[in-house]
Chain A
Amino acid sequence: MSTLTADPVPAGAYNSARRERAAADPASLVPALQELARKVRTSDIRMINRAQLGHIGGDFSVTDILATLYGAVLSVDPLDPAAPERDRFILSKGHSAGALYSTLAHCGFFPLSELNTFAQPLSALNGHPNRVKVPGVETNTGPLGHGFPVAVGHALAAKLQGSSRRTFVVMGDGELQEGSNWEAAMTASHYALENLTAVVDRNRLQQGARTEDTKQLEPLADKWAAFGFEVRTVDGHDITQLLQAFSGSTTGKPVAVIADTIKGKGVSFIEDRVEWHHKVPTAQQVEDALKELNQ
């Protein structure tokens, strides 16, 4: 279905590493996942500078979450990205496509060189992800409030089929202002979808201002609990905490992970600044950022 295909060498390496990781002590995985996250950020900022377009702030807040999921949690195979029993992952905050593309490329879903085409005419790598063109993408996102209901459908399908596969969805925090998410939360809870994990990238900034100054989300954990979720609040840049948070439900309820993050995490002059929602770094800023990322 996709117009891109796996890069066999990194895909093979990814698969063997994934098999090893399955048997490993979680603590031993952290350095490799941190290194994956560093590579993802490095490729992403270069890609955004080249395209002169992207969402660096939200990309960097979600990068450690993506690296942990793809590096150690999801059961997915870049050489067989449509395998029926794969785990499902949806990036509902589709504007962070750059972070997703960079993660998928480093895992071998398509060649790293394709990142050079990001946002170019006729590239598979559109400003928002397209499942028809990009292997590993499960649904086309971009308009906010769409990914969570689709994830609920994925999880329902697994349950109807008696499958143990899991579904993860990552939402932005500002995105929770869309009512469709709360429709989906009620459905997930009603159908007791313990195979579903909803992750909130809680960086506290949205496009124009802080979430709490735009339309207040707090008390956010209480909201998720009231909607029937097992709630886990973690540091979204602490891979050890993320690994624990992504373990299965212990209550039979769907899981909500509120990942406290910093928008633009990893680069001091980008971190927690509202203007970096979709500001494009200059060549000099890329150089400065890479120095920090490579420290």
Chain B
Amino acid sequence: MAPQGPDRAAGRGRAEGAEPVTTAAVKVPTFDCRKAFAEELIALAREDDRIVAVCNDSVGSSNLTGFRDEFPDRLINVGIAEQDLVGVGAGLANGGMIPFVSAASPFLTGRALEQIKADVAYSRAKVVLCGQSPGMAYGELGPTHHSIEDLSWMRAVADLPIVVPADPAQTRAAVRWAAANDGPSFLRIGRHPVPAVHPEGTEFVPGKAIRLTDGDDLAVVATGTMVSRALEAAEILRAEGIGLRVLNVAYVEPLDTDAVLQAASGTRGVITAEEATTTGGLGAAVATLLAENAPTRMRILGIHREFAPTGSTDFLLDHFGLSTAGIVAAARELA
């Protein structure tokens, strides 16, 4: 068992003991971001014949059946072979294509990490790495299929932007951005259902964090699945008189340092929230920035170097305090 220090019990890790939280909000519709990913990729492929999808037998799990039906020649399936998958993607990019290399995130980033480093990032090959079903989206399938290490691993690689969209609209914008970007990128495409968190007409500016609520007491810097939970937490805390500023940081790398520094200087504390191990992801990026430039009280929510027990994705998110209750508990400590 991992040690259970006071910090962890106090909400840095699991939120056991935190009061269950219910919100007044009506149940809102939720979405699998892979669908938006696939639809946008097909739309792009209609406009640009350089777009190809490359997968590792993951036509179904990457939601690429529609792409394959419409562009059978532009769906390259290398079979169950992730090292080959990423190398082939780099070669396609060198040959003038725009490859979206798509696989379940644990296998894409873990099995082919050296190819991502050497063939893609170091070679500056314009490959769009699409890590599907990241975090603990595979729930009961267990830690072999969870991808909580990917943000740490990808952040350790130079010259590789990392984008974690929070909802379908941002997923579409990320796909468009990656296709136009001059260089490689890693997109983390969520499977676990999330609500739409951006108001109609939100402008997605590449590299920029999006401030979703105002609040001058505390800030939560969240990414991916955690953004909607942060919004729910802000609503609960408002009733308690705590103003929580919610910042959606989809561009984990390079980080929007201005937005994070403003959040730190404009509030009394910063909470980070990500569905990932805390060794090197968003929380680590924010902590490093703030430690060097604006020391700030922080709570870093994520998974603290621990393999998950058996359970559904929602159970595991709650278990590790990656829940509305977990964010509320962390905020109450900092407030």
Taking Cβ atoms with an 8 Å cutoff, the residues of A that contact B are 1, 84, 88, 130-132, 138-143, 145-146, 148-158, 160-161, 167, 179-180, 183-184, 186-187, 190-191
Judge whether B272 is part of the interface by a CB distance below 8 angstroms: no
Alpha-carbon distance A139/B52, docked complex (angstroms):
20
Closest Cβ–Cβ distance, residue B122 to chain A (whole Å): 5
- Whether the pair A140, B95 counts as a contact (CB closer than 8 A) is no
CB distance from B261 to the nearest CB of A (A): 31
Asked if B115 is at the interface (CB within 8 A of a chain A CB), the reply is yes
Question: By the criterion CB–CB under 8 Å, are B95 and A158 in contact?
Answer: yes
Chain B hits for A146, CB < 8 A: 87, 114-115, 118-119
Given known contacts A143-B114, A183-B83, A151 and B119 CB-to-CB distance under 8 angstroms? no
Q: Across the interface, do A187 and B81 meet the contact criterion of CB distance under 8 Å? A: yes
Counting chain B CB atoms within 10 Å of each CB, the highest count among A84, A131, A149, A179 belongs to A149
Q: Are A186 and B79 in contact (CB under 8 A)?
A: yes
Q: Are B88 and A153 in contact (CB under 8 A)?
A: yes
Residue ID in chain B nearest A167 by CB atoms: B91
| B123 partner, pick from A139, A151, A184, A187, beta carbons under 8 A | A139
- Chain B hits for A148, CB < 8 A: 87
- Cβ contact within 8 Å between A153 and B95: yes
Chain B positions 90 through 127: 1 when the CB is less than 8 Å from some CB of chain A, otherwise 0:
11111111010000000000000011001100111100
Q: CB of B76 within 8 A of chain A?
A: yes
Q: Given A139-B125, A156-B88: A150 and B119 within 8 A (CB)?
A: yes
The reply to whether B124 and A153 contact each other, CB–CB distance below 8 Å, is no
11 additional contacts, CB 8 Å, given A154-B95, A180-B83, A183-B81?
A139-B91, A139-B94, A152-B87, A153-B88, A153-B91, A153-B95, A157-B92, A183-B83, A186-B79, A186-B81, A187-B88
- The size class of the interface chain B forms with chain A is 20 to 34
Q: Is the CB of B125 within 8 A of A161?
A: no
Tell me how far the C-beta of B228 lies from the nearest C-beta in chain A, rounded to whole angstroms: 38
User: Which residues of chain A are near B78, meaning CB under 8 Å?
Assistant: 183, 187
Contacts of B74 in A (CB 8 A): 160
Q: Which residues from chain B contact A186 at a C-beta distance below 8 Å?
A: 79, 81, 84
Task: Enumerate chain B residues within 8 angstroms of A132, measured Cβ to Cβ.
Answer: 123-124
Q: How near does chain A come to B114, taking the closest CB pair, in angstroms?
A: 6
B89 in contact (CB, < 8 A): yes
Cβ contact within 8 Å between B94 and A161:
no
Question: What are the residues of chain B within 8 A of A143 when measuring CB–CB?
Answer: 114, 118
Q: Is B73 an interface residue (CB 8 A)?
A: yes
Whether B73 lies near A152 (C-beta < 8 A) is no
- Which single residue of chain B is at the shortest CB-CB distance from A84? B96
B91-A151 in contact (CB<8A)? yes
Q: Tell me if B81 and A153 are in contact (CB < 8 A).
A: no
CB contact between A160 and one of B84, B90, B97, B122 (< 8 Å): that residue: B97
29 contacting pairs across A/B (C-beta < 8 A): A88-B91, A132-B123, A132-B124, A138-B94, A139-B119, A140-B118, A140-B122, A141-B118, A149-B83, A149-B86, A150-B119, A152-B87, A153-B89, A153-B91, A154-B94, A156-B91, A156-B92, A157-B95, A158-B95, A160-B73, A160-B74, A160-B97, A161-B95, A180-B87, A184-B84, A184-B87, A186-B81, A187-B84, A191-B76
